Homo-oligomer: A and B are copies of this chain.
Amino acid sequence: MSNPTDLTRLEKLTALIRHYILTASTAAGSGHPTSSLSAVELMTALLFGGIFRYDLDNPQFPNNDRLIFSKGHATPLFYSLWVAAGKLTGEYFEANYRKFGSPLEGHPSVTFPYVEAATGSLGQGLSVGVGLAINARYLDMLPYRTYVLLGDSEMAEGSVWEAMELAAHYKLDNLVGIGDINRLGQRGETMYGWDIQSYVNRVWAFGWETIPVDGHSLQEVLAAYEKALTVKGKPVMILAKTIKGKGISFIEDKNGWHGKALNQEECDRALGELGDVDLNIRGEMARPENKTPEVPPSVPVASFDYPPDKKVATRKAYGNALARLGPANLNIVSIDGEVSNSTMAEIFGKACPDRFFEMYIAEQNMADVGLGLATRGKIPFASTFAAFWCRAFDQIRMAQYSEPNLKFVGSHAGVSIGYDGPSQMGLEDLAMFRALGDSVVVYPADAVATERLVEEMVKHRGIAYMRTTREATPILYSPDDQFPLGGCKVLRHSQKDRATVVGAGITLFEALAAYDTLQKMGIAIRVIDLYSIKPIAAATLADAAQATGTILTVEDHYPAGGIGEAVMSALAAKAVPVYSLAVTKKPKSGSPEELLNYEDISREAIVKKVREILGL
């Protein structure tokens, strides 16, 4: 590819791309032109130098190479590339960049069809790329390659190094990182400046092939990509020394120009420096191969059965359910953070070993690997302790903007895990997953509900979270019971109910025991299993509130953002009193019973609170 004529053409494309980087950000009045200018040659050579294989008319074509801008703020460059590819006019870009309602948002949004995943919170793109590359190599068995453009500032994020180690572990030679080492971060120099060798050392030590280059030499950059294609058995990182603001003398390598558009006068001056630019030239992309993903035969969904007299932990039922559904739905993939013998994802891992990927103790990377798999049509179930999903909250938050079909499972919820103490107790997970703009949150109490809710999670397209319990719990339901999302189960009710107790998971059994005690005292209560926390059965709750006069929620979770507040939100406009019992003291080691009592979320606490509410 890199003969002189081609290089001249690529050079002309870089001028066109620089032109629109400048004009569109100036037209918008904001954006990141300098961070874009440093990577122009890197991206031009990749996309239009014969390396990147892509069907421009079919962004979802399974054989397309994949490109992730982990440095998501470089959208002036990103959109300019699609102008150069002929899929966007320069005028449209200039008129619509960062405008309300436009697909050309400040950071990449999936509204724009050439965006694989929303980025903008730094240090996440490489993990998404690991997901894409795992899919190509181990699942779809397709020859597409994944390219990830990283900024140097974001390489300070630990998540980048999680992606590094996992990519090397899985020998992802179909993954190419491109480090745009332009020395300057938002407010000054990065930790390593232009010490390219320090990047080479670190990336090499993490098991990658490294190729240092002058990031503004099209010839060197092209040679690097060509070399990358030949590397076997490990991922490749091109580490490019670049200049922030490259090409425009008065902003080149200058601090204070991060995230700033040029004003019109500066822009005119900058365009003058670019000289004559051929705005009609367009680049060509190489064509992808046309292979079909391998699809092994599937089998019908098996049924399940739990003896009604044996206790089963919902985490175990989760593993059973996934293993049961896996052979029938070949898109189901399980990833786990080195605790599969606790989350019980190992049951799936044994049933479908080709679709189980150990993610080790690196939850941030795991979440984005899940996102990457989801963008290629898989249905990833990512699991760890509920508490440790906090580790990946930023990745989870960002994932929602890619609108993925992605499932999270958190085991060891609440103080009822017992002796290990608060570091291992998920007490914020419901708040975290409820906080997502569009999410489903389920919390089964028994094995049957778990099995059915895993089925619902598979059926529902979107982000869904299941909370499971460490301790074995009794079987409450029969396999014929249905558990639609947004539903609940009214387990005890009578005409004489004087209060409604809403439990879920472990506290449901406390509520049922409290029912028995209160019954003996002549006090009838309604008991609801709120297995679906989001969406929530607002109508049933409102009916219960009206019929019984008051609601008491009981949860093994901190109060903020939990079940109590979910119920209050559902009933807020109804002027119904809602009381709640939740974890309010700093938890400690102890038996589950001791801790439920200590936190006043036990059967005794419920009995006491109901009597107090009723003035007894």
- Which A residues are within 8 Å of any B CB, using their own CB? 28-31, 72, 98-102, 105-107, 109, 111, 118-123, 153-154, 156-162, 165, 169, 185-188, 190-191, 198, 201-202, 204-207, 338-342, 346, 358, 360-365, 387-388, 390-391, 393-394, 396-398, 400-401, 419-424, 427-428, 431-432, 434-438, 534, 558-561, 564-566, 568-569, 572-580, 583-586, 588-591, 594-595, 598
Q: How far is the CA of A360 from the CA of B153 in the complex (A)?
A: 8
Residue numbers in B under 8 Å from A588 (CB-CB): 100-101, 105, 109, 111
Which of B106, B111, B161, B591 is within 8 Å of A158, CB to CB? B161
Cross-chain contact A565 with B561 (CB below 8 angstroms):
yes
CB A590 to nearest CB in B, in angstroms, measures 3
Cross-chain contact B419 with A118 (CB below 8 angstroms):
no
Given contacts A99-B590, A560-B566, A561-B561, contact A422 B436 (CB under 8 A): no
Given contacts A338-B185, A360-B190, contact A590 B101 (CB under 8 A): yes
CB A328 to nearest CB in B, in angstroms, measures 26
Cross-chain contact B419 with A28 (CB below 8 angstroms):
yes
Q: How far is the CA of A346 from the CA of B572 in the complex (A)?
A: 42
Given contacts A205-B202, A575-B576, contact A424 B120 (CB under 8 A): yes
- List the B residue with the shortest CB-CB distance to A168: B191
Residue numbers in B under 8 Å from A594 (CB-CB): 100
Residue numbers in B under 8 Å from A106 (CB-CB): 419-421, 424, 589
Cross-chain contact A362 with B435 (CB below 8 angstroms):
no
Cross-chain contact B568 with A573 (CB below 8 angstroms):
no
Given contacts A98-B589, A393-B390, A437-B586, contact A185 B361 (CB under 8 A): yes
With A120-B422, A428-B435, A573-B577 already in contact, 7 other A-B pairs whose C-beta atoms are closer than 8 Å? A157-B391, A158-B159, A393-B432, A401-B586, A568-B572, A572-B580, A575-B577
Which of B158, B365, B564 is within 8 Å of A162, CB to CB? B158
Residue numbers in B under 8 Å from A122 (CB-CB): 361
Most buried by B among A109, A161, A585: A161
Q: How far is the CA of A583 from the CA of B434 in the complex (A)?
A: 13
Q: How far is the CA of A515 from the CA of B158 in the complex (A)?
A: 47
Cross-chain contact A158 with B558 (CB below 8 angstroms):
no
Residue numbers in B under 8 Å from A169 (CB-CB): 191
Which of B338, B580, B598 is within 8 Å of A153, CB to CB? B338
- List the B residue with the shortest CB-CB distance to A118: B423
CB A594 to nearest CB in B, in angstroms, measures 4
Cross-chain contact B569 with A428 (CB below 8 angstroms):
no
Residue numbers in B under 8 Å from A123 (CB-CB): 361
CB A372 to nearest CB in B, in angstroms, measures 17
Cross-chain contact A365 with B158 (CB below 8 angstroms):
yes
Residue numbers in B under 8 Å from A361 (CB-CB): 122-123, 153-154, 156-157, 185
Give 8 pairs: A residue, B residue, CB < 8 Å, sorted on A.
Answer: A107-B421, A363-B394, A393-B432, A401-B422, A435-B561, A436-B560, A437-B585, A565-B565
Cross-chain contact A558 with B436 (CB below 8 angstroms):
yes
Residue numbers in B under 8 Å from A422 (CB-CB): 107, 109, 118, 120, 401
Cross-chain contact A421 with B105 (CB below 8 angstroms):
yes
Residue numbers in B under 8 Å from A201 (CB-CB): 204-205
Cross-chain contact B187 with A156 (CB below 8 angstroms):
no
Given contacts A158-B157, A205-B205, contact A423 B119 (CB under 8 A): yes
Most buried by B among A388, A391, A394, A575: A391
Which of B165, B431, B575 is within 8 Å of A575, CB to CB? B575
Q: How far is the CA of A575 from the CA of B571 in the complex (A)?
A: 10
Which of B105, B121, B162, B572 is within 8 Å of A388, CB to CB? B121
